[in-house]
């Protein structure tokens, strides 16, 4: 009873919420289920101490997407970016401002005292090393999945997080998508018939994403 009361208080306390039903194929999955996404409004005052200065390491598709998402949060500022390709660094200045500091060496970013957190969106083989170096440098970390390239690298990353007490989050939100919940429902209810084989591909070799799913 106490937990139910707390839940009601929480729901009532949500102000300025928005209900979003995505367009396209996703709406077909969600429309009958009345699934809702609630966005909690930022209704408090912010001080200078609330300013969070971030840097993104790896400015490919996910580096840009993660940076865009982070900048939607009040008082977050992108101050630096790292990538090995000159074209991507040039694009950073075009997109986020000419004053953004850019470098090809991620260690230059970690050495900066004015950066609170880093977004790591490099190739998988760099995730563990950069995450560990970043936390040891006093930075909080958001690292794209997978957290590590090899399983035996995982414990060192966890140990570093525990030692430094720095926040580390791994970007695995997609597995919570309503699309996968609906797919499980369709399978469990037998609506799609007997499932014998699934073939799926996820192709992101350019700026557009291509999804393909076939079942027999």
Bridge-based pairing state of the strands 52-57 and 76-82 = parallel
Burial class (CB in 10 A: 0-12, 13-18, 19+), 13: exposed
Q: Where are the domains of the chain?
A: 1-43, 51-173, 177-216
* Token digits of residue 44: 């408090």
> Is residue 48's pLDDT more than 80?
no
For 202-209, what is the mean pLDDT? 54
Interatomic CA distance for residues 35 and 175, integer angstroms: 16
Per-residue confidence (pLDDT) for residue 44, from 0 to 100 = 61
Identify the helix (H) or strand (E) that includes residue 79: strand 76-82
What residues contact residue 58 under an 8 Å CB cut-off, 6+ apart?
82, 83, 120, 121, 122, 123, 126, 144
The candidate with the shortest Cα–Cα distance to 9, out of 57, 64, 119, 1, is: 1
The candidate with the shortest Cα–Cα distance to 79, out of 115, 130, 46, 119, is: 115
For 130-158, what is the mean pLDDT? 96
For 23-39, what is the mean pLDDT? 47
| Check whether domain 51-173 has CATH 1.10.580.10, yes or no | no
Quick: pLDDT tens for 150-190: 999 999 999 999 999 999 999 887 777 788 888 888 888 98
């Amino acid at each position: 009873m106490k937990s139910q009361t707390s839940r009601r208080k929480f729901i009532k306390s949500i102000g300025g919420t928005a209900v979003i039903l995505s367009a396209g194929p996703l709406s077909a999955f969600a429309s009958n289920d009345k699934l809702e996404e609630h966005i909690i409004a930022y209704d408090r005052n912010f001080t200078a101490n609330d300013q969070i200065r971030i840097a993104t390491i790896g400015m490919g598709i996910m580096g840009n997407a993660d940076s865009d998402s982070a900048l939607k949060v009040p008082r977050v500022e992108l101050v630096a970016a790292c990538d090995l390709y000159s074209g991507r660094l040039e694009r950073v200045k075009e997109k986020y401002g000419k004053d953004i500091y850019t470098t090809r060496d991620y260690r230059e970013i970690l050495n900066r005292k004015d950066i609170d957190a880093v977004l790591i969106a490099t190739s998988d083989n760099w995730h563990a090393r950069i995450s560990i170096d970043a936390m040891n440098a006093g930075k909080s970390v958001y690292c794209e999945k997978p957290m590590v390239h090899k399983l035996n690298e995982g414990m060192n990353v966890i140990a570093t997080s525990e030692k430094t007490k720095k926040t580390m989050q791994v970007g695995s939100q997609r597995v919570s998508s309503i699309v996968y919940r609906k797919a499980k429902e369709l399978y469990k209810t037998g609506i799609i018939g007997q499932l014998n084989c699934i073939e799926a591909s996820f192709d992101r070799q350019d700026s557009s994403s291509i999804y393909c799913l076939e079942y027999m």
